[in-house]
Each structure stands twice: as structure tokens, then as C-alpha cells.
Amino acid sequence: MDAFEAPRKLTADDDLGNFCCGVAIVDEWARNRAHGAERNGTAVVYVVDCDGAVAGLYSLCTHSVVRDDVGGGWLRRNTPEAIPAILLGMLGVDKRFQGERLGASLLGDALRRSLMVADQVGAKALLVDPVDERARAFYRKYGFKDIPGMGRMFVPLKR
């Protein structure tokens, strides 16, 4: 097992040009948009290094879900029209480092950070838009639930 460093914020010096997790939308975003999102304040990107390379990454940003779009249940209960949330926008592990539970570790870090933010500013859930059924199964394994009719999933940010 490789020795991964602790997740840290993306810096201008981080080279994502060769990042390849095998999911086209994540790879394209990492290579071409991650630095811009960080620079423009539309997302905060966290990376994990191993042997001088970015082994994995994820992004977080504030978000909201329209109450009428989520049907009934916990997510809708006692909320304003725009339900405050945090979006896990992208999560990927470079192919060279897959199979070492780094994805689960990144997800755990994203959840911990989201819980801290929710405690400071208020957010009801951590949201994710799985890119395919494999990703959906991954998130489901860690407690995420489907939002009916949206394709989106959530996990509560309970305080």
C-alpha cells in the first residue's frame, strides 16, 4: 500500500495535467477546470499526494436543492424553499492508486469537512451526483440515499 499524504487544498503548483481516474467527466474537470474553480471561488478542491503525484482529489461547494423537487421525507422536513446543502462535486482516484481504499478515505474527509461547515453555517445534507451505477453503488455503501426523481443522492449532515 502506498503512503498517502493527508488531504490538502489544491495549489497553483499542483499539476493535474496527467490525472486519470478513468471517468471522462472527472478527468476533464480535474485537468481543465479544477484550478479555475479554486481560483474563482466556485469550489474548494482537495488533493492527496503520493510520491510527488496527485493520487486523488475531490471538490466541495455550497449548494441548495429546491424543496418541491425532493418529494417527502427527512430531507424536506422543516426546511426553507431552498434547502441548504454542500455538494461533493467531483471525486476521483488516479488509476495508478486505485484499489487502495483512497476513494473511501477521500469521501470520509469530505464528509468530516462538510460536517464542520454545516456546524458553522447550516447545511442539511451532503449531495452527490453519481456519474454512473458503479459510483451510485459506491456512495450507497457509505450511507448515501437516493433523492427520488433527481438522480442525485444525499447523506444527512446531522449535528
Strands 53-66 and 82-93: antiparallel
- Enzyme catalytic residues: 139
Element at 50 (helix H, strand E): strand 44-50
The label of the residue with cell 477521500 reads 106
Q: In what order do the strands lie in the sheet with 145-146?
A: 8-9, 44-50, 53-66, 82-93, 125-128, 153-156, 145-146
Residues, the chain: 159
For the record, the C-alpha cell of 121 comes out as: 453555517
